[in-house]
Amino acid sequence: MDGLYALKPWFADRLASVRRALVARGVSPSVLTWGGVAFGGAAGAVVAAVPPGPLCAGAVAALLVARLACANLDGGVARESGRSTRAGAVDNEVGDRAAEFAVLAGCLAAYPAAPVLGAALAATLPSWVSLAGAAAGAPRLQGGPSGKTERCAQFVLLALTGFTALVFPLMIAGSLVTAAVRLVRVRRALRALDTADPADAATAGGRR
């Protein structure tokens, strides 16, 4: 059920030498977080300016791989350099959403508004569920079946084909399914915590 997120350890290994170089040079994790937003914006600009086809798809793919690399590196650099902070965790979440919205802004310039805005709304739901669960004490859930990595692949498909009737419904349906799957997993994790510590559950004051 983790989808392409299961490749994250492999991807992190490929970036290990880059991560070490960034730590050695004292690069701030925030630079990487907002660099990912910039790459997302550049991908959106390509979608808006370049007709669908191999050139558009290749450029969007390269920019979104760079965006995912930044999303991987910011946390790794923060941990390895001892610069992990709560504020940095918030920046990471905001940066992820901003990078995706930046791509969608480019789509909005090139394609009908309704499916793009529907995809923008649906794409936020998995994160909302995960963050609500984390706020209640569950682990922060990531991955699929259709998380941000799959959505990047869908943007590349859009850049290649321009098939809005396929890509945006796929993005919306995948995001809704992912949100539902995460909700089930969050509730299961929270029930386990409630069973382990009933006093904590009573203090939390949530509905049973």
Mean pLDDT of the region 84-93? 90
- The CA-atom distances, in angstroms, between 11 and each of 14, 18, 57, 126, 140 are 5, 12, 21, 22, 20
> How many residues appear in the chain?
208
**Residue 55 pLDDT more than 80?**
yes
pLDDT computed for residue 208 by the predictor: 45
- Structure token pair of residue 94: 């905001």
pLDDT computed for residue 142 by the predictor: 86
Q: Which of 184, 61, 169 is nearest to 126 (CA)?
A: 184
Instruction: State how far the Cα of 109 lies from the Cα of 91, in Å rounded to an integer.
Output: 27
How deeply is 114 buried, as exposed, middle or buried, from its count of CB atoms within 10 A (0-12, 13-18, 19+)? Answer: exposed
pTM confidence score: 0.89
**Residue 58 pLDDT more than 80?**
yes
